[in-house]
Chains A and B, each alone.
Chain A
Amino acid sequence: MLTELGDAGVQILAVSPDPNQKSQELAQRLRARYRFLADGDLALTRRYGLLHARGGPRGEDVPIPTTVVIDRQGIVRWLSIGDNYQVRPDPQDVARAVRALP
């Protein structure tokens, strides 16, 4: 998805319960365009209504994989909430949604 969006002047925020140690180096390199945010207690995931209780491989709570495109006014313009964890949104669809923003 990163290559699809490239230099489109868009900010990617990737949220997971991970404490981020693994993403550290990658995050340093991509920092300008791509930030890994730690939602360790899943408070944001819950607030957004995206919790999958005990959905993780060890029975832990995890977020439902979701991609949201938000415009410059903070309005949701495109939303893909996972309903089958084998399936991810096509990066082309995400890129198209971003390009369609005014």
Chain B
Amino acid sequence: MRSYGLALLSLAVAIGGIVGYFSLLHVAAIRNHPALYLAALALAAAIAAVASWWAPRWPNLAALVFSVGLLVLGGYYNFAFARLPAAASALRVGEAAPDFTLLDAAGQPVSLASFRDRTPVVLVFYRGAW
């Protein structure tokens, strides 16, 4: 019975880790640390590996394949798929940000230089609504 328990525990940790991470995405402290779900998957794999070593029966081996599979997928996602290309950015701390003019939602032109000597600017580039 113990061997089944560990297989189930491994499954719970793997699924719990992923579901937990994605359901708490709105919490910045969680979202900014994807290593959390990788850690949960690694833990699940470790539990399944230990169980498989003690008792190489199908529930443990299945849990091992499952958790290692998810760990590989999660690792690929985090380290490859979600990676952004290195920016050949013109921006440098200490240098002037190039001036520009773009239209806002009301069709009014807004230029960066218009805020000179008035207010600081927080400029955010984002992907837009998906």
The chain A residues found within 8 Å of chain B, CB to CB, are 1, 5, 9-18, 20, 22-24, 27-28, 31, 35-39, 44-45, 47-50, 52-53, 55-57, 62-79, 81-88, 90-91, 94, 98, 101
Q: A13-B124, A48-B125, A73-B116 are in contact. Are A79 and B102 (CB under 8 A)?
A: no
The chain B residues found within 8 Å of chain A, CB to CB, are 28, 31-32, 34, 78, 82-100, 102-106, 110, 112-113, 115-130
- Number of A-B residue pairs with CB-CB distance less than 8 Å in the complex they form: 201
For A42, the closest partner residue in chain B by CB is B125
What residues of chain A lie closer than 8 Å to B86, measured between beta carbons? Answer: 83
What residues of chain B lie closer than 8 Å to A50, measured between beta carbons? Answer: 87, 89, 125
What residues of chain B lie closer than 8 Å to A36, measured between beta carbons? Answer: 104-105
Q: State the CA gap A31–B104 with chains docked (Å).
A: 9
Q: State the CA gap A62–B87 with chains docked (Å).
A: 12
By the criterion CB–CB under 8 Å, are A94 and B115 in contact? no
Shortest Cβ-Cβ A-B pairs, 7 listed: A18-B128, A27-B105, A16-B128, A49-B89, A37-B102, A63-B125, A20-B105
By the criterion CB–CB under 8 Å, are B34 and A37 in contact? no
